[in-house]
Structure 1
């Protein structure tokens, strides 16, 4: 498993901004764009870059805490 796979990433539509928002709150605040598929790919690249930056500086990565919510039935 790659380090980036430990972090939850998702894309959602923002009515307020009228754009898709890509999120990975354990590492970055977010990115935005008009194409959700392209945006998810870019989000994954940004997360990889952030992890590489942490590694290059010898910094410890934050513990992944964000998890998708599950609907209780």
Structure 2
């Protein structure tokens, strides 16, 4: 009787381990590659900002205001 109980318990344990091994496991979400060559909508494209220090063509820069001189 004891021998059959041990055999039954060990068989049940092995079957439960086999069933648990076949259960689906959660997998990490794959990272999608970033789109290449398309500008994001609603944002300025990277690297396309105006160059600082360059005046627009066809327009002269505004003259500097005269210095304020006070005597006293």
**Alignment TM-score, normalising by the size of structure 2:** 0.32
* Higher helix proportion (structure 1 or 2): 1
* Higher strand proportion (structure 1 or 2): 1
Instruction: Please say which structure displays the higher CA radius of gyration.
Output: 2
**Alignment TM-score, normalising by the size of structure 1:** 0.31
